[in-house]
Homo-oligomer: A and B are copies of this chain.
């Protein structure tokens, strides 16, 4: 089955080489990796391992960084608990913020989630609150991180969004996102709201700044329209650094990325027992049918979801290599491999959940204009 990759759907085994051509993005090559390493002082595992593998205008963004003109933009659509796939991107954003000392504008698109989901306004607001707590707990710098909440900062965002909207016909949005006449008019307007944080800091600071958006590659179509329109309003096209998806627990061939909708994602609020049960029950195994067979033939780490997840979360290269070899040789059983992942995730989650308690009290420090 050929892959399908849109902001709403990822199906089939994703061919990332083909995606680069299909989307017209650029590969992060050795030269660019070296430049990033030089500026950040270290090589992030997700860069080294090719999880962040593609970009648009990243060299331009780094040029502007060197002139002190760069900021980061990312976002969260609050409609449910945060899963590890979201957290992964944001942990990388935090790393960029820390290493480069960048300001980060973090948009919470509570309007869009209300408009597209069969959920009440109040339910979305509840998730907004919960998701903000998770984002804060990931450790962003409160002095340099600015939460923009679409419904709370509409005074700031809406007047800029209509400037975008004036350049954007329904035809353009229709072809970019596959919308139809039966979509609601809020959803049709929404992409204008999403474009705003890519230039709002330039408005606020009265200075033309460059914007870098780290995101999973399926979100690229959203920002293509933004890139077309921003120069017409006198701003730079936003640059991006794009990552592969954290595979679904069910396996990389069945569903391309981790999605909250599958019900088998690991959430930042899951307790240790739930994590163990989910991994044991759902994580697709590359092992053999019996222990004897496994010892003899060895496992296949390439299709084993637990191993693949460790390539995202185990930062120690040597540890990871050892796990790979032991699993391939049959020395490490599938259950043991799963136990390593469970341990890794639960250690992270225990710390995260402790930080959540403190984060709840810090919300106002992060909301733009409230600080």
Task: Find out whether the CB atom of B184 lies under 8 angstroms from the CB atom of A115.
Answer: no
| Residues of chain B with a CB closer than 8 A to A49's CB | none
Does A274 sit within 8 A of B, measured CB to CB? no
Find out whether the CB atom of B169 lies under 8 angstroms from the CB atom of A181: yes
CB of A313 within 8 Å of the partner chain: no
Kindly supply a per-residue 1/0 record for chain A positions 112-124, scoring 1 wherever the CB is within 8 Å of any chain B CB and 0 otherwise. Answer: 0011000001000
> Does A191 lie at the interface of the complex (its beta carbon under 8 Å from any beta carbon of B)?
yes
CA distance A318 to B170 in the complex (A): 56
Q: Does A346 contact B (CB under 8 A)?
A: no
Chain B residues within 8 Å of A111, by CB: 158-159, 162
Q: Is the CB of B192 within 8 A of A162?
A: no
Task: Tell me, yes or no, whether A167 is within 8 Å of chain B by CB.
Answer: yes
Q: Closest residue of chain B to A151, judged by CB?
A: B159
Interface string of A126-161 (1 = CB under 8 A from B): 000000000000000000000000111111011101
CA A189 to CA B179, docked complex, whole Å: 14
A129 CB to closest chain B CB (Å) equals 15
- Smallest CB separation, A123 vs chain B (Å): 13
Most buried by B among A111, A159, A168, A180: A159
CB-CB nearest in chain B for A116: B166
Q: Which of A281-314 contact B (CB under 8 A)?
A: none
- Most interface-central of A159, A162, A181, A189 (chain B CB within 10 A): A162
Closest to A111 in B: B162
Instruction: Decide: A182 and B169 in contact? CB cutoff 8 A.
Output: yes
Given A154-B154, A189-B186, A174 contacting B166 (CB threshold 8 A): no
Size of the A side of the interface (Cβ < 8 Å), in residues, is 38
Q: Name the residue on B nearest A165 (C-beta).
A: B186
Please tell me if A171 contacts chain B, counting CB pairs below 8 Å. Answer: yes
Q: Does A188 interact with chain B (Cβ within 8 Å)?
A: yes
- State whether A174 touches B184 (Cβ < 8 A): no
How far, in whole Å, are A166 and B115 apart by their CA atoms in the complex? 6
Residues of B with C-beta under 8 A to A154: 154-155, 157-159
Q: Which of B158, B173, B183 touches A158 (beta carbons < 8 Å)?
A: B158
**Cβ-neighbour of A155 out of B114, B121, B152, B170 (below 8 A):** B152
The answer to whether A182 and B163 have CB atoms under 8 Å apart is: no
- Most chain B beta-carbon contacts within 10 A, residue among A155, A159, A188, A189: A189
**A187 → chain B, closest Cβ, in Å?**
8
Which residue among A151, A157, A167 has the maximum number of chain B CB atoms within 10 Å of its CB? A151
Q: Verify A170–B188 contact, CB threshold 8 A.
A: yes
A183 CB contacts on chain B under 8 angstroms: 169-170
Interface: A1 (CB within 8 A): no
Q: Does A370 contact B (CB under 8 A)?
A: no
CA distance A159 to B115 in the complex (A): 11
Q: How far is the CA of A271 from the CA of B366 in the complex (A)?
A: 54
- Residues of the B chain whose Cβ atoms lie less than 8 Å from the Cβ of A153: 155
Q: How far is the CA of A114 from the CA of B166 in the complex (A)?
A: 8
Partner of A170, one of B150, B163, B170: B170
Contact of A185 with B by CB under 8 A: yes
Fill in one digit per residue for A35-66: 1 if any B CB lies within 8 Å of its CB, else 0. 00000000000000000000000000000000
Extra contacts, 7 of them, besides A121-B163, A154-B158 (Cβ < 8 A), are: A114-B162, A155-B155, A162-B186, A168-B186, A169-B184, A169-B185, A170-B170
23 A-B Cβ contacts within 8 A?
Answer: A111-B158, A115-B162, A150-B158, A151-B155, A151-B159, A151-B162, A154-B154, A158-B158, A162-B186, A165-B184, A168-B184, A168-B185, A168-B186, A169-B182, A170-B170, A170-B180, A170-B184, A171-B181, A171-B182, A173-B185, A185-B189, A186-B192, A189-B189
